A and B are shown apart, each in its own frame.
Chain A
Amino acid sequence: MDQPVRELSYAQALQEAMAQAMEADDRVFLMGEDIGIYGGAFGVTGDLVERFGAERVIDTPIAELGSAGVAVGAALCGSRPVLEFQFSDFATLAMEQIVNQAAKIRYMLGGAVSVPLVMRFPAGSGTGAAAQHSQSLEAWFAHVPGLKVVQPSTPEDAKGLLLSAIDDPDPVMLFEHKLLYKTKGPVPPEPYRTPIGKALIRRTGRDLTIVATAIMVHRALEAAAILAADGIDAEVIDLRSLRPLDRDTLVDSVSRTTRLLCVYEGVRTLGIGAEISALIAESEAFDRLDAPIGRLGGAECPLPYNPELERAAVPQVPDIVDKARALVRGTV
C-alpha cells in the first residue's frame, strides 16, 4: 500500500531541514534576531531552541553587520552557522561581511580556508510591509562571485536546498519568499539534498518557455493553465538557483519552444531577467528564437505600502498571460 503523502508548509520544511542538519552534525548552529524563544519573525525556527538549546539556537542583537561578522568567523573556525536575517532588506546592513569577507576569503587565502556559511532571507512583497521590508534583492548578490544564491519555490525544495546549502563549503544565500511560508506541499521525511545550480521544469510545453523564480513560479503555472485553454502550451521553468545558473536547461528549453519570457519579482531593469535574456541571446538558442525575449519584473519604484499599488508593482497572473499571448501570437 502507498503511504499517504506527508505535507508540510514551506516554513515547516525549512525547520525540518535545520533540525535534521543539527541532529546529524554538531557543528551546525543557528543565529538570528528573535529566532529563539520567539521562534523567528515568520515562525521558521519555531521550537528549535527547546529541542537544541540556546547554545545552538542563538538570539542576536539588532546588529546585522556584527552578527554576520560572528557567523563568518565561526564558519572560518570550522562551525556551520545558519544565519537568519529578519528581512532580506537588512542584508544592506551586512554588506561588508557578505560581499567583501564571506565571498572572498577563500580566494584571498588561496583556498587555505573556506566559509561554509548559510544565510536565510525572508524576501519579497505581498505582506503590506512597505518599501524597506518587501524587496527582492537576490540579483544583487548573484552578481558576486564567491556567493551562491538559491530561491526555493516549494516546501520540498526549501528543505532540499537548505540541506545542500548547509553541506556546501562556501557561503550560500537562501531567499525565501514570505508569501510562500504558509504554502503546503509534499516533503519527504528523510534528509535529502536538492542540487544547487539545477533548474527544474515544472511544466513542459511547446510554445514558449517561462522562466520564473520563487512565487512567480506559481503565478507562471497558473498563467500556463489559462494559456492552455487558449491553445498556448507554455513550459514553466523554476530557476531555483541564480548562481550558479543552469544554463543547459534554459538553452535546451528555449531551443525547443523558440520563445522566452522571464518573470521575476525583483526590479525589472538589470535584474535576473536581463542575465537570462543575454545568456540565451549569446547561446546556440539564439537562432531558434522566433519572437523577441520578454521580461516581466518589479516596477521601477520603491514598493508601495498601499496593497493595490503593491500588487500592481510586481507581475501578476494576468500580466504573464497577456505577455505570453503577445509573444506567441507575434504581436510584439
Chain B
Amino acid sequence: MATEIIFPRVDMDMASGRFSRWLVEEGRPVAKGEPLFEIETDKAAMEIDAPASGILRGVRAARGEEVPVGAAVGWIVSHGEAWREPASAAPHPEPAILSVPEAAAAPSEVAPPAAVLDPPTTLLRATPLARREARRLAIDLHRVQGTGPRGRILAADLPRQQDATTPPDAAAPDLLRTGLHREWRGQPEHAAGLPLVFLHGFGSDLSGWRAVSAGLQGSHRLLLVDLPGHGRSGAAGSTGFEDLVDAVQAVLDEEGVRRCVLVGHSLGGAVALGLLDAGIVEVAALCLLAPAGLGPEIDGSFLSGLLRARSEASLAPWLRRLFADPAAVTPAFVRATLRGRTGDHVACQQALAEAVFPDGTQGISLRHVLGRVTMPAKVVWGTRDTIIPPRHAAALPGRIALHRVEAGHMPHVEAAPLVSALIAELARSVPA
C-alpha cells in the first residue's frame, strides 16, 4: 500500500510553502521518522520526516517549487510492492487520514520492523531526582509531561503514588483486567465522599486534567481514567464507542464506584453520556466540557492531522487549533504530546476515530440521552471552539446549565480555575 507524502502545514497561517530539497533519492529505501525532505517557510527551513517506511517513489516536487499545503509531493511504497502512479494528482484540499484506511490494510502486508514503532527519540529533560524516582517506581518518563523550563520533568510531575491517595476500600488496580490505567487523587479523609470521575478527550490522556484536578483534590476524591489507546492504558481491543463505554464502566466496577459525579471532555463527554445511557453507574451529577455526540460536525482535518503527525513540526499546528490562544501550545507541550504516543496508540486511535468520527463526521448521536438528565448538570463550552462547534449546545433541556466561557476546545486548560469552580459547585449540589 502506498503512503502519500503530504506537504505539511507547519504554521497556522500558511497556505503554501517552498519545497527545498529531497534528502532521500527516488527509489531509495527510507524508514519512518527519518528526515525525508526540507521545506522553507517565511520563518525557517525545516526537515520533514518520512510518514512511513518503504521506498520513495513518484516524487513530484522539485527544488524551489511553491507547493500548496496538503498536496502530495511523493509516495512511499512497501518493499517489493509494484509502483503505479495514482491517477489523481490534484492537491488535497485538507489532508484527511480517515479516508485512508491504514488500519484496515491487508493482513498480507509485510509488517514494518519493530524499530519504526518506537516513540520518537526526542531529548528527554528530567531532573536527576525525577529520573531516580522514575527508576524506583518503574515509571516511563516518556509518558510524563514536564512542567519545568523547556518541558523539564520535575519530581513533582511524576504520577502520584497510590499509598496516600487510594481510598481504603479500593482494590489495587489490576491493569490486566481492563487494560485501562486510572489514578486516584485527593485526600484519604474524603474517601467516604462522592468521587468525581474524569474522562479525557480524543488524543489526550488523564494528565490533561492536571490544572483542574489541582483545584479540586484538596476537597474531593478524584478518579482519572486513561481511555483505551490513550495515556498509559493499553492499546488492545476496544475500538467502537460501546467498547469505550464498557471499558470505563469496568474500571468503575473495579474501583467500587457505584455513584459518582461524571466529568467528561469532548469524546470523554460522549462516553459520560454513554455511561448515563447504560444506566449501571448512578450519575449523581454531570459536567460535560465541549462534549461530542450532540451534533454531526467535528473538525475532521484536525483529527486526521493529529493522527498523521509524526514530528513536532507537523503536530504543533494541529495542537494549536485546540486553543483560543495558539501561544498556549508551547514546544514542551508539543514534545510531551509526541512523546506520549506510541505506534500502537496511534493505530488504536485511528481505528477509534474511524469508528466514532467516520469521514470527519460524528457518527455517534447521544442527544436522546439529554432527555434522561434529571440530575444537576452543566455543559461548558468555549465560545471560540473550532473543533466541535459551540452551537451543538443550542436547545439543551432547560434543566441543564450552559456555561459559555472564553476559550477554545480546552476550557479545562484555558479556563481551569473557572472550570474547577463549576465542578466544585456541581459536586456541592448533590448529597454525599
A286 adjacent to chain B (CB < 8 Å) = yes
Contacts known (A258-B155, A330-B154); A290 close to B127, Cβ less than 8 A: yes
Contact flags (1/0) for B112-153 with A, using CB distance below 8 Å? 000000000000000111111000000000000001110010
How far apart are the CA atoms of A288 and B131 in the complex, in Å?
9
B129 contacts A332, C-beta separation under 8 Å: no
How far apart are the CA atoms of A288 and B130 in the complex, in Å?
8
Within 274-295 of A, Cβ neighbours of B (below 8 Å) are at 286-291
How far apart are the CA atoms of A330 and B155 in the complex, in Å?
10
A258 contacts B129, C-beta separation under 8 Å: yes
Q: Which of B129, B147, B149, B156 is within 8 Å of A289, CB to CB? A: B129
- Tell me the total A-B contact number using a CB cutoff of 8 A: 32
A287 contacts B128, C-beta separation under 8 Å: yes
Contacts known (A258-B155, A330-B154); A287 close to B149, Cβ less than 8 A: no
Chain A proximity of B235: nearest CB distance (Å): 32
Count residues of B near A (Cβ-Cβ below 8 Å): 13
A332 contacts B128, C-beta separation under 8 Å: no
A286 contacts B128, C-beta separation under 8 Å: yes
How far apart are the CA atoms of A332 and B152 in the complex, in Å?
10
A331 adjacent to chain B (CB < 8 Å) = yes
A287 contacts B129, C-beta separation under 8 Å: yes
How far apart are the CA atoms of A286 and B129 in the complex, in Å?
8
B147 contacts A330, C-beta separation under 8 Å: yes
B132 contacts A332, C-beta separation under 8 Å: no
Contacts known (A258-B155, A330-B154); A288 close to B149, Cβ less than 8 A: no
> Most chain-B CB neighbours within 10 Å: which of A258, A291, A332?
A291
B132 contacts A287, C-beta separation under 8 Å: yes
Question: Within 8 Å CB of B155, what residues of A?
Answer: 258, 290
Chain B proximity of A292: nearest CB distance (Å): 8
How far apart are the CA atoms of A231 and B200 in the complex, in Å?
33
Chain B proximity of A49: nearest CB distance (Å): 56
Within 224-273 of A, Cβ neighbours of B (below 8 Å) are at 258
How far apart are the CA atoms of A332 and B127 in the complex, in Å?
12
Q: Which B positions have Cβ atoms within 8 angstroms of A?
A: 127-132, 147-149, 152, 154-156
**What would 7 A/B residue contacts be, using CB atoms closer than 8 Å?**
A287-B128, A287-B132, A288-B128, A289-B128, A290-B129, A290-B154, A330-B147
Top 10 nearest A-B pairs (CB, nearest first) are A290-B129, A287-B132, A287-B128, A330-B148, A289-B128, A290-B127, A290-B155, A330-B154, A288-B129, A258-B129
Q: Which A positions have Cβ atoms within 8 angstroms of B?
A: 258, 286-291, 330-332
